[in-house]
Structure 1
Amino acid sequence: MPQLGYTVGRDVAVDITTPTGKLRIPKIMTFDAKPQVSNQKITPLNGVSDELQIPTGWNGTITAERMDGTLDDFWAQWENNYFNGIDQQRGTITESITESNGTISVYRYEGVSFHLTDAGNKQGEKTVSQTLSFTANRRKKVN
């Protein structure tokens, strides 16, 4: 639930669906998504410039504390599929946010490609943080 009208991290839930089913990451710590645009400056003869922005998808990261082999196994299967010539289909991410008025906003990232960008730094007496990066064709509001 929001605090003093502000959205805080615990107001956000993330559901990840891969071509092989739900990816249930036990301890998601952060979810970061950024829209991507292609910019084109247009300067007509009168000299007053415009900037055309074209949406080109989204990218982001999910960081997790490693509690089991979920992300390692997911990536091992992805690699195995690649080397066995199996086509890698795209997935989705559904982001649900509890708003300060109690409603829930739901956004779906479509055409998602995943990439385990950091399998984690293993050190004595420290937790292992992993990073799953993604790109998406677009994000749509579901409700």
Structure 2
Amino acid sequence: MTTPPAADWLRLDQQICFSLNAASRAFGGVYRVILKDLGLTYPQYLVMLLLWEHGDLPVKKLGEHLRLDSGTLSPLLKRLEASGLVRRERSTEDERSVEVRLTEDGAALRGRALNVPLRIATATGFDIDEIRELRSRLDQLTSALDAAALTEAPDAPPA
């Protein structure tokens, strides 16, 4: 692999972050169309995926899985609750914790969502092995960037 000349480093077409952002925005456009029939936004869909997979979850756990802070997650959960898809209830074991539970309508929506991953996979033009490889590489990239962010933080102790 050849390294581009220093003068090219600041070109937009040399920025991996831009390519990832453009791909993310393109995914958002496809999801917007596909999820419209379900009445969900992409972030709401992610919450529903977690609840369909794991069952009831504390808000804190949802935020950890989705890498979202409570300021972003709370309004999203309020909209899902207003739509009748989830219920938020204080934990009986720890009143500081709020549990998110699927309603009957939220659980039933899972059946209508079953075709979403296939439609997204088809939209990528990749076969299943290419999708798995890309996902694996993106997971590696995320881990590397998380580690780098810790070491690059201004208040991080020297390694």
TM-score class normalised by the smaller sequence = under 0.3
TM-score (structure 2 length as normaliser): 0.26
Higher normalized helix content (fraction of residues): 2
Structure with more contact order per residue of length (Cα contacts < 8 Å, sep ≥ 6): 1
TM-score (structure 1 length as normaliser): 0.27
Higher normalized strand content (fraction of residues): 1
